[in-house]
Structures are given as structure tokens and as C-alpha cells.
Chain A
């Protein structure tokens, strides 16, 4: 039996900020997230034993590599702290969390700090889209293509259409729900933006097509943001609980995890899954692995999901891959209100990547922190009543790297 991994809390920066307009270096993002996390949890920086950074492409966006070293710069007490940086495209944050968890499970450390960070507004949208293309097989799928990722996730929709049928109005509803939830989240990027289901269903100069069936309203955001999460072993969590006079049983844990990687090229994935009821079977497998490790019989046992809606099609895929419906019937959970706040299994109470924002390397950490907030009843206006177990799904590339966590007590 592996050592349990506790979540002690963390901190998210305001995803509406434009750090380039503030003329800030990526260090400022990391520092604010770290200092905010220490203040929020009351953790003494001297107690932190290891640091992990999740980041996709600071080399491109910010001309900066070696981000693990920047943790050390965030507080004098971190001088000498062992750190590293992890990359798996949009799943980078979850990979950093998995690395920290593995070290805790192995008994190496009792308190780990994980920071997910991405600064994306340093470049114009087209350049940014090109950088994001490196999460696909760049030379084959992205080079010379304007906004490659919307096109790839448009193809995911097309594949659904081919196998099961897909109506764009169901995608529009996914968008509207995420934007609507984001209005309740004081750190969400789009909290003051205008969006309705009618608008998401419209197609004109204000909601133009970016690639294939993907329109502006189907897309997640270009976001600057950083998130810190503290993970602890039973020993570390017990000390934390004792110092604060709280019951160890009140601290949530990562109950289970799943991690699978599919072939990077989208056409290879689709060819591989021909005849399979799941379009992305490895993503399905990551979810089932996490449920099995958590001792959860299925999606009926989780109270809400924070999923990867980089585009509406990826959330559409998540709905049946989580098992909320039979494969190909995601539209049923959209039509019957299952996924809405107040529904049976709300998806993205935070607003997700579409509403809350998608600072690529920070997203996995943001999802886990939101899961923590839900199960500790501290999510404020986007709290899911009585949430005890939350599942997260974080995806890198076109359904390539899939990471799933189940968080609860």
C-alpha cells in the first residue's frame, strides 16, 4: 500500500490579469503564486522539502527555461531546495503533481510544493497558436497551419459526428455553461465577459470560425496564470493538522490517479481507436485507472468533475469517457442538465478552461486546487453542495497525454 498523498491547499492568481501589460517577468507569476500559497496555507517555507514546476513552453513565450530554479528565487528559505520542471503540453501541471505524488508515495519527502505556470500574452494570437502547435507533431500537424489546435479538436468533433452524430448546438451549450459558471468564480478570466447560448450558436464576425467546426465561443482562452498546490505525506499532513488544531481526517487526499499517453498524431489515434466505442480509449483508460485506484466504482460516485475543455469538443468527449453517458451519447447529459451547476454531476463548476482560463502549464494544478476547494467546501459561489469526491481530467495535445485524479476524503 502506497503512502497516501494529502492536499494541504494552495493558491491561484487572478486569471484575468495580463502580466505583459504589467510588464512582468514570469518570475513575478511564480513568486505571487508561491507567496500566495504560503500565506493561504500558513506553511513555513522552511518546511517545504521539494519543489516541482509544471510548464509547457516558457522557452518560447518568455525566452526562459530551467523554471524549477525560479522556485528557489521565490523565498530565501528555498535556497538549496531540490526542484525540477515538467512538461507534457497542456497536461504539464498534472505531470508535475504526479511527480510530487510519486516522491511522497515513495517516502522521499513529506511536504512538496507544486507550481503550475504559463505566461502566454507575451505574443500575438497567431504566434501563440503556432507555439501551441508544438504540443502536436509540429512538422506533420502544425507547421504552416494557422491555429492548428482548434483544427485538431474540430476533427475530434468530426470523428464523433462520423461515428455517432454530433450537433453543434450541444457544443454551444457546453460553452454557455462554462461561461456561466465562470461568472461565479472571482478568479476566472471571463467573469465579466458577455456570453449566452444564443451567441455561442451564432456565426458571424463576432463568433467566427477558427478551424473546422470550432468557433471562437468553442475555444478556451489565452491566459497568464500560476497556481500553487501543497502535497504532503501522512506524516507531513499530520504535522500540518496538529499545528492548526484540525483533524487529519478533514484534509483531503488524492484518492486515485490515472496517466496514459496515446500516439501523438491525431490521425494515428483515430485509426487506432477504429472499432472502439471510445474515440480516445487511452483517455478512458486513464479515467478508469484513477477510479480503480480510488476504489470508486464509477462516475456515479463523484460529485463533480473538473475537466479539460480546451475546446467544447474535448468536454463533449469527456462526458462519455467519464461514463456519464454511453459512448456517443454525451448529448444526453447536456440536454438533461446533468453537467450544470445544480445538476447530477456538474462539469467545471469553476468555468473550466473556456470560462476560468487556460494558462497551459497551470491548468492541471488549477483543476486539483479547485477539486480541493470543492471537497473542503471553500469554493464560494461555485461550490457544489455537499461535494465529497471530485474527479479531474487534464489532457496534453490532441488527446495525447491524459491525467486523471480523484480527490476526496
Chain B
């Protein structure tokens, strides 16, 4: 059993770096936070204290700089956790330094959300590669417990189970074990849906799509508002990577829409570029927050009064049913609803179920439906695919998948019975269905 008592975080000034430091310190580890300067690392340390809502957690943390402290800190660490910018060259440069300085039995992990683990592992010596793996935490890590663990082909097999166990039991993570494929499990499945909705918005409009595939379909936040939160640049990096490096049944869903590229070119990256916005632009008018909505065709932002989406009866009815906890009846209505909106929403949702469960199996991203369920439920806060299949019924789900010309996942075809596929006894499935 490997011990993890001393952790070094690289890139500790960033949100993921500071958040990771919080997670490890909360589990009782001593954490050294490193950044370009000790001041920046100190800012990360203070951010971690803010996330923990505790000053005393700082007693487990020290701040330092790459120039002054990296080699010594790495030499004393059980785990070196990399949370640098999502740039392969920068990461490789640091891994070469880490490889020289580390103890032979220390673990090295990257928080990367989709870069090749195999390629990063090759940036150090043989011992580095053997002890290298991906530990993908989601943002903000102290709140979102869904975590992906991604070994590469050369990762010491004896390392994996103990790491998963530690992450779950000591650091409170809900772990999905993934193969080293582009964007891993959560972002592969999640951004397929998000980009598909962005594509559909070119024709149907932003507010319309966020309404039609809104929280009632099993998510905490509407899809395009989610992309605004993540950042359009991050969204592009993920879908471009998957589009360039995979060739699956939903390949076209990963093509970044031209209007989104134009937004990025003009610096509209979402919430982080406040005044410019992304799919939405928040403006203060007479002291009130007003949300303008992008018109994908013109690139203009429209006042909410000019972008009103007419309520659709079946969606309103489903929300009402969710509101009082009648989830099964609500999703029955979803399957039976007629009209344009029903077809758009069903194609996206059954596309999600189909695509997610097709990522399960030999040669695929994960081994069990449970793995993809966990990351969608606890990384994205979306109804896990098997929750939807269970509540709608396996046969009906298969019929819908076929109706929309999608691939029926083998795990679903095989289950095709009444015994539930979702087996997490302490998870309330009602939490996924927002009204």
C-alpha cells in the first residue's frame, strides 16, 4: 500500500491547483503549493483556505516557488500533483524536472482534463512513467466529488487499486476508472451533448435550446449556460481534441460550430469575460442583473424581452411533475410528447444515453456502466444514463434510441429487463431531476 502523506501541487495559483491542495490537505496531508513565485503560491494557499472555510487548514500547507523550492519539495513528496496550464509542452518541461528530483517510489499525477496521459508519462524516466497517472478532479474540486483516474499502459498495475481506494475513502472522491482516450469519460460524453446543443442553437437559438434541453431533462444547469461557466475556450479545446483524435458514431457532434469559433476569436469566452459574455451576457441595468442572449446568426446580443421563448406545454407539465417528485410520470410524458421540441429534446437525451453507454466495454473508455454513471452524476450533476434508462424503462429507451437512428448500446440491449441498471444504494435519483 502506497502512502500519501506529503503532496506537492504544481500550478497552485490556479483554481484547480488551489482546489486540489484543499482536497489533499482536508484528507490530512501536508501540502506544498508551488507557483512561479511564492506570492502566487500563497494566493493559492489562501484560496484553499477560502474553499475549506478554515484558516487552520493552512497549518498543513506551505507556499513556494518553482525556482527556489521545486527540487527539494519534489524529493520529499509521496505525491506530485500537476495542475499547470493545459499545455503539453509546459507540462513536459516540468515533468522532466520532476523526474530528476523525485524519489523512486513517489506517485506523479496530472489533473489534465483530456491531454494524453501516455504522452505525458514519456516526459520522464522509466520509474516516472511507471508511477505516473491521471487524476482528473472537476472544478471546484472541494465541491464536485466526481473524479477520473486514468492510468496509461505503462502505469504500475499495483498502484491503481490503492490510489482509487485512497481517493474514495480518505479524500471523499467518487472515482471513475478510465482508459487514456481523448477527454476521458466525463468530458467525452458531456461535451458531446453540450456541443450538439451549441450546434442546434445555430438554427433554433440559444435561449430556446437551453429551455428545450433544460434542467427538466435531468441536469442542474442548462447546457449553454454550462458552457459559459466552463469557458468557450475550454469547450473548444475539448471538442477539437475529441474531433481530431476519435472516430466514433457521434463524430460530427464534436465539430465546433462556426459561430462559436467566431465568439472565441472575438474574445467572448463566457462568464470569465464578463462584459463580452458568451452565449449570454450579464449586464447591470439600473442596479439589476439583466441577461442578454446571443443571436448566433448575427453575433448580436438581444435583450431578454426580445429573446422570449414561448412555453411548451409538455415541458411545463414535466417541470410540474418533477416539482412534486413524480419523476417516473414526468419521464413517461417526455417519451410520449409530440411536436418539434419533443423530438429535438429526445434526440439529444437518447443520444446522450446511447453515446454514454456505448463508451462502456472492451476497447472503450470505461469498463462498467457504473463508471460512466458516476462521472455524469457526480462530475456533471446530470442524471446518469442508467438512471434515465431505468426510469423510462429499458425497452422504451431502446425503442427511442432506434427511433432517432442512434446506436443501441450493448449493455442496454443485454440488460433490457426490469431490474435496474443504476446500483448506487445511497444516491437519491430525484436529485437529478430539477423542476
Query: Which residues in A have some Cβ–Cβ distance to B below 8 Å?
Result: 13-14, 17, 21-25, 27-32, 35-36, 73, 183, 186-187, 191-192, 194-196, 198-199, 202, 204-207
Contacts and interface: CB of A to CB of B under 8 A. Distances in A.
Contacts, number: 85
B56 A186 contact: no
A198 B25 CA distance: 13
A24 B325 contact: yes
A264 to B, nearest CB: 34
A115 to B, nearest CB: 13
Chain A contact residues, majority secondary structure = loop
B172 A206 contact: no
Given A14-B427, A25-B323, 16 more contacts: A14-B428, A14-B431, A17-B431, A22-B430, A22-B433, A22-B434, A23-B322, A24-B322, A24-B435, A28-B430, A31-B324, A73-B324, A192-B142, A194-B52, A199-B57, A205-B55
A22 B220 CA distance: 7
Contact of A207 (B54, B143, B145, B319): B54
A31 B327 CA distance: 11
Closest 7 CB pairs of A and B: A28-B325, A31-B325, A186-B426, A194-B52, A23-B435, A27-B324, A198-B56
Chain B interface size, under 10 / 10 to 19 / 20 to 34 / 35 or more: 20 to 34
Given A14-B428, A22-B434, A22-B435, A199 B323 contact: no
A73 B329 CA distance: 14
Contacts of B322: 22-24, 28
Nearest to A35: B325
Interface in B310-335: 319, 322-326
B325 A32 contact: yes
B49 A206 contact: yes
30 contacts: A14-B427, A14-B431, A17-B431, A22-B220, A22-B322, A22-B431, A22-B435, A23-B322, A23-B435, A24-B324, A24-B435, A25-B323, A25-B324, A28-B324, A28-B325, A31-B324, A32-B428, A32-B430, A73-B324, A192-B143, A194-B53, A194-B57, A196-B56, A198-B59, A199-B56, A205-B55, A206-B49, A206-B53, A206-B54, A207-B54
B26 interface: yes
A30 to B, nearest CB: 8
Nearest to B220: A21
Interface string B36-67: 00000000000001001111110100000000
B57 A191 contact: no
Contacts of B324: 24-25, 27-28, 31, 73
A377 to B, nearest CB: 16
Contacts of B426: 14, 186-187
B56 A23 contact: no
B210 to A, nearest CB: 15
Given A14-B426, A206-B49, A194 B220 contact: no
Contacts of B323: 23-25, 27-28
B326 to A, nearest CB: 7
A297 B220 CA distance: 52
Most buried by B among A187, A199, A202: A199
A318 to B, nearest CB: 27
Interface in B377-435: 426-428, 430-431, 433-435
A191 B145 CA distance: 11
Nearest to A13: B428
B329 to A, nearest CB: 11
Contacts of A194: 22, 26, 52-54, 57, 142
A27 B56 contact: no
B142 to A, nearest CB: 8
B326 A31 contact: yes
A183 B59 CA distance: 22
Given A17-B431, A183-B172, A194-B26, A204 B55 contact: yes
A199 B54 contact: yes
Contacts of B215: 23
Nearest to B430: A32
A98 B56 CA distance: 44
A67 to B, nearest CB: 14
A58 to B, nearest CB: 14
A21 B431 CA distance: 10
A175 to B, nearest CB: 13
A31 B433 CA distance: 14
Contacts of A191: 172
A13 B324 CA distance: 15
Contacts of A198: 56, 59
Nearest to A197: B56
Given A13-B428, A21-B220, A194-B26, A202 B325 contact: no
A357 to B, nearest CB: 14
Contacts of A187: 426
A172 to B, nearest CB: 11
